[in-house]
Chain A
């Protein structure tokens, strides 16, 4: 790198003597991609492959022995792993629709011609999406305290007493969903808003000439036109939820009784609390498999859209 820069830093030289350049347009792209590719080979490609091999090994200290599929067969008999899969999917199936419809509603509200100060609203709604997940989780952990938390205080004003937000299995899941929804709704809303702005306005004009009301227009024009944005947000949220870690790690540490243990949290504990690298790699590969299936479904859905 260093040598190359010295040459290019002397442009006058080039113009005086039309000397042959070392960095020809033919070689240039390879030089430009080299840093990215080298880094990816070392820090992504190698670990992905190495992790695959690890998932068939048992690691004791520095000793690694091949154990065939036994990590995987153990996974299928591991109740905590099943629990973490189930939890992750429960969170996903409940949280993603709530968040996506909320995001869409807010976006439609903001997009409406009646609303002024759209930029200001957009900034305010987007604020949670810039905070560290850990900061959000900590703040909510305090807000959701069973005895002294503000949330239960407000609820008590309406006669609802003592919800065990972080200590009952049901409410602990609800808390994780609450924090995720707070953190990500604005983010998805911004994406929907941009999608709404891309819908040609003559579609609506034509519809209102035909006598279609606002509600009809929403279901006949807005929703179908937003289909690609829908797919994008749902898939991104799904993949994000599959990797959920920070919120349950801080809020509940996976408890009570593993009610909020997620796949990634279980992977972290297996790998870095119990140092079972082989087993943790098998967990990671199940995660890869699930993500691949979801991405494949997404490609199918988008592909159908092109027809």
Chain B
């Protein structure tokens, strides 16, 4: 948004009054009415509901009848062991997601870029993009088919091969679950994540590669000294964008891998809000947690943007 302003500056601006602007562009303002009404009705109108976080909200009494309690709800949630566990899980799993999930598309993009046969490259790319187009319901149910302890294909294959005697509880024991859950996340995003990097790679001048080759740089050296630096800004921007999402959590992904044995780790903020709020009707607590999550998310995004701009990158806002 900031960029637009600076782009508009150089033009000589004759001051238009609202009257003349409306006269000339009333049709444009009329068009804008539709999206503005949508955000007001479905987004802005929900913001006042956030005051529930500072109330002891009782659905029967409504906003007017419920009591104001200040920060009490926040104190209560931080004493709530469920919340602390959900917060811990969200942060740990999101960071782990980032740690294992972030480098993968970069590596894959570097490999795809080096592939020699365009047709092979095109077909494999199309295949690698597939998981991005599938819902978590599909991924979750296919994962079950693959990883059930007794009847999952992976376990059947391992048992048939005599490698293990008993099925591995890939999705039914918390530590196994953690690894499987993370790897499926990486798998889902690895192909699609390459797009931005591949686009950045096409932007690198071919002359650089030629010059390096004349100097005798091999493939790995070229990758390291030309391709990687060439996509550095893309890497930084995407990394920062992802850091901004460290507090988020995706209920669809979490519930797709839900079962009683793994509650300890699967219980993350989205699950907490859903269970406490819509499940047991603790509206104030769920709202407080949601607000906490939104605020931290917002702060992280703003910080990330600042950092990106400091580093001379484009930033996000």
- Whether A associates with B in a native complex is no
Spell out A's residues near B (CB within 8 Å): none
